[in-house]
Amino acid sequence: MKHTLTLALLLLLATAAHADRVRVRIYSNNTVSNINISFDLGAYNLYADGNRLVEDMITEGRSVTIQPQAGKLRLRVGETDYGTVSTLRLEATDTACILCLNPDGAKQRTYEGDLEISPAKNGSLLIINDVEFETYIAGVVQSEIYGKQTDIFRIQAIISRTWALRNSTKHRPEGYNFCDHVHCQAYLNRCIRPDIMMGAIQSSGETLVDSDGKLIETPFHSNSGGQTANSEDVWRTALPYLRSVQDTFSFHMRQSDWTKTVSIDRWLNYFATKHKLNTKDPAIRDSLLHFTQTERKKRLLGVPLTRIRVDFQLKSTFFSVQVDSSSNNIVIHGHGYGHGVGLSQEGAIRMVGLGISYDSILRHYYTGAVLHHDPSANRNYVENYVTQIARIIEEDKHKQTQTRSKKDDWLGRLFRLRDREEREEIYVESEQENDKDWQYEW
């Protein structure tokens, strides 16, 4: 039987997000021809072609290996070969369940929720994580932004949640909601940091809407370089809440400034051959070799800066050009990293560090947007989980050098803590399981 906590968590997630679960294609940018799945926490049922295949639940210490074969899936559970099947589903028996995925040719990842695997058209594996919406959001936050303060993660959770709710049908024809890459939002692992989960939970029920109460588009980028861009300067549509704003908060951060050297001949030939500019004309030549942006521009002699950025693999369109006569090169001095529209993540990180409130930061980057608080989101649940996770974070501060088992993951600890409270038991650390096979360096 599932824990009482599971029901509470599901209620929180459903009311906060207006979505129970989402389907995310993982390893979407990889060709996976073989994958081994092990189990870090909890128990799973295995279904093949809709039927339960293994009578016993699959738990820690067991593994499943899958590879495509003649349009089907070759399946092994431990040392037992089950032949070929058409589809597989690993279904978690509780919310506190963690899968560890080890594909050939790609990095190991861990995920919560269920897993569906089927043959892909290119002869590889199509892998889908069927997961609670807010669990997905926390994984996105961990994949998309760095930092330490909780409000950083709260901000990212709000814009990631808003985007996901607005774009939940993006991959519907393919049978899932999102992919795990920047085409949607990066989702490269489950959330393993309790401080990130804290920020995500604190943001429960919060989204950004326009003056009519409709969810807005919430693009973000690493660093604006000091000024964000209008949406129509990068894409086609002008949106009232995606206006260019001055952003000194993005100065002096990891991605604030960059340079790239290109030969003069290559630079001029590019504009002559691809964009049909007469680079022998002194005025045109001078404009190309001495281009300056003190404020963001959209074009260089009619050529979209977005096109130049792609063709020369530049970090941003916010750049200037200077001739280095000693080497017959030009030096491109750039600012920022990314498309420049919407929220600058490093600018937000700086603002949080300066003590600026998370809602003020969102209003700074999304002009006229309104922070909507879903009245159905139960704040008692939110506050309770925040308190419990804060306790885990405080415990971690005193155990940073200790060797821990995989059962010391914050999710497992949270469930054990709540279980003890429900049973009114007293926790005695020395009586807990201590299986050396699970131990690893934290």
* CB-CB contact of 262 with 330 (8 Å): yes
> pLDDT per residue over 367-401, tens digit each?
999 999 988 776 666 777 778 888 888 877 777 66
Which whole number is the average pLDDT over 308-330?
96
Q: List every span in the chain annotated with CATH 2.60.200.
A: 4-146+168-187
Residue 4, pLDDT score: 39
Decide if pLDDT at 417 tops 70: no
Going by pLDDT thresholds of 50, 70 and 90, the confidence category of residue 122 is confident
List the structure tokens of 6.
Answer: 């599971």
Q: What is the 3-state secondary structure (H, E, C) of the chain?
A: CCCHHHHHHHHHHHHHHCCCEEEEEECCCCCCCCEEEEEEECCEEEEECCEECCCCCECCCCEEEEEEECCEEEEEECCEEEEEECCEEEEECCCCCEEEEEECCCCCEEEECEEEEEECCCCCEEEEEEEEHHHHHHHHHHHHCCCCCHHHHHHHHHHHHHHHHHCCCCCHHHCCCEECCCCCCCCCCCCCCHHHHHHHHHCCCEEEECCCCCECCCCEECECCCECECHHHHCCCCCCCCCCCECHHHCCCCCCEEEEEEEHHHHHHHHHHHCCCCCCCHHHHHHHHCCCCCCCCCEECCEEHHHHHHHCCCCCCCEEEEEECCCCEEEEEEECECCCECEEHHHHHHHHHCCCCHHHHHHHHCCCCEEEECCCCCHHHHHHHHHHHHHHHHHHHCCCCCEEEHHHCHHHHHHHHHHHHHHCCCCCHHHCCCCHHHEEEC
Who wins on pLDDT, 257 or 426?
Answer: 257
Decide if pLDDT at 158 tops 50: yes
Who wins on pLDDT, 420 or 439?
Answer: 420
Q: Which amino acid is at 238?
A: A
Per DSSP, the residues of 160-189 read HHHHHHHTTTTTGGGTSSEESSTTS----S
Residue 403, pLDDT score: 58
pTM: 0.86
Which whole number is the average pLDDT over 186-203?
92
* CB-CB contact of 155 with 200 (8 Å): no
Who wins on pLDDT, 128 or 123?
Answer: 128
Bridge partners, 37 (sequence order): 64, 101
List the structure tokens of 387.
Answer: 């308190």
Q: What is the DSSP letter of 249?
A: G
Q: Is 4-146+168-187 a domain of CATH 1.10.1060?
A: no
Bridge partners, 99 (sequence order): 39, 111
Residue 12, pLDDT score: 40
Bridge partners, 299 (sequence order): 304
**Cα–Cα distance for residue pair 321/303, rounded to 1 Å:** 15
Residue 388, pLDDT score: 80
Going by pLDDT thresholds of 50, 70 and 90, the confidence category of residue 416 is low
Q: Using CB atoms within 10 Å of the CB of residue 213, give its burial: 0 to 12 exposed, 13 to 18 middle, 19+ buried.
A: exposed
> pLDDT per residue over 13-29, tens digit each?
433 444 689 999 999 99
* CB-CB contact of 131 with 25 (8 Å): no
Residue 402, pLDDT score: 60
